[in-house]
Amino acid sequence: MSYKRILSIQDVSCVGQCSMTVALPILSACGIETAILPSAVLSTHTAGFTGFTVRDLAGDMPAINEHWVKEGIKFDAIYTGYLGSKQQVDYVLNICKTTLNERGLFIVDPAMADNGKLYYGFDMEYVNENKKLVKACDYLLPNITEACFLTGIEYKEVYDREYIDNLVLALRNLGAKNIVLTGVSFREGKTGIMVYENDNYNYYEHEKREKSCHGTGDIYSSAFVGALLNGKSAIQSAKIAGDYVVKCIKATEGDSDHWYGAKFEPVLGELIKEVR
Ligand code: PXL
């Protein structure tokens, strides 16, 4: 594999094992040079901690972008996650326009919601602005809640294949090219990933652990991107990322003090074996 350089744009939650503190080590372990642009700095993530600090870094983005353009810096891929505010969407699109290599990949995890609810601080204006990213990206990595907010389709906990096909179709109608829909569960004890790529549907099903951990969406997306940039197909990458998340959850289960994230580090070696 040739040496690739990726830019990841998402927040730095200083403590909490999510977003950038997950993406940077995972992508590096996958053998990819990883540049970062923090969208915001928070003392912790917002899911379970209280009294956290938040600093939105939207205001820094144009000057950072300008400097990179001056330096002629280019990326083979750009992967975005949690953005601090809706102003960032246009800035991110401009960064893509000016720094992404000609055949570079733009991968978007619209990290804004889970379990039927938007994350703290986000509203429908933020959701609507994110539709621009849906249209612009090469791969969209939503969970079902995010797909519902983006498309206006009602969120359901129990559903059938037709419901999932309709979600994918509605995302395609928003302009999404390739879609990797996570957390798709058709039967008890199992969950999986629906991959829509080049007009084909593929579903990968794996075991569903009873315990869910915060941050596994970011672990999943980072591992998916790491595999994809190593030349794996979308469905292979989905399988590798899904299996890795199960290993991370198993490594965390039973430790009730570790409620804020998943222990992805002890099993990173197993991911590397699959990806490289
Ligand atoms: O894992 C998604 C995420 C990322 N960043 C911050 C969050 C969350 C989820 O709650 O709060 C700051």
Residue pLDDT, tens place only, 87-106: 999 999 999 999 999 999 99
Residue with tokens 């222990």: 263
Residue pLDDT, tens place only, 24-62: 999 999 999 999 999 999 999 999 999 999 999 999 999
Please, what is the angle between helix 161-173 and helix 144-151, to 10°?
50
- Mean pLDDT over 109-127 rounds to 97
User: What per-residue string of b and e applies to 22-33 under the rule 16 or more CB within 10 Å gives b?
Assistant: bbbebbebbebe
Ligand 1 pocket residue status of 82, Cβ below 6 Å: yes
Ligand 1 pocket residue status of 42, Cβ below 6 Å: yes
Q: Which atom of ligand 1 approaches the CA of 42 most closely?
A: 12
- Mean pLDDT over 239-268 rounds to 96
- Mean pLDDT over 115-135 rounds to 97
Give the angle 36-249-273 at the CA atoms, nearest 5°.
65
Q: Which two tokens stand for residue 255?
A: 């430790």
Model pTM? 0.98
Q: Which atom of ligand 1 approaches the CA of 44 most closely?
A: 12
Q: Which atom of ligand 1 approaches the CA of 218 most closely?
A: 1
Residue 92 burial (CB count, 10 A)? 25
Q: Looking at the predicted structure, is the pLDDT value of residue 1 above 70?
A: no
Task: For residue 78, give every residue at least 6 positions away whose Cβ sits within 8 Å of its Cβ, in sequence order, or none.
Answer: 6, 7, 8, 9, 92, 95, 96, 99, 100, 104, 105, 106, 107
Residue pLDDT, tens place only, 139-185: 999 999 999 999 999 999 999 999 999 999 999 999 999 999 999 99
Q: Which residue's CA is the nearest one to ligand 1's atom 8?
A: 45
Residue 193 burial (CB count, 10 A)? 25
Higher confidence at residue 127 or residue 199? 127
DSSP state of 261: S
Indicate the average pLDDT of the chain. 97
Ligand 1 pocket residue status of 20, Cβ below 6 Å: no
Q: What are the strands, taking DSSP E only, across the chain?
A: 5-15, 33-44, 54-56, 75-80, 100-108, 113-114, 117-118, 139-140, 178-181, 190-197, 200-207
**Amino acid letter, residue 13:** S
Q: Which atom of ligand 1 approaches the CA of 111 most closely?
A: 2
Among 10, 11, 18, 248, which is best to mutate for testing ligand 1, by the most ligand atoms less than 8 A from CB?
A: 18
Ligand 1 pocket residue status of 47, Cβ below 6 Å: yes
Ligand 1 pocket residue status of 11, Cβ below 6 Å: yes
Nearest alpha carbon to residue 147 among 120, 196, 181, 175: 181
Long-range contacts of 164-172 (CB under 8 A, 24+ apart): 164/194, 165/201, 168/194, 168/196, 168/201, 171/134, 171/140, 171/142, 171/147, 172/196
Q: Which atom of ligand 1 approaches the CA of 19 most closely?
A: 4
Q: What separation in Å is there between the alpha carbon of 8 and the centre of ligand 1?
A: 15
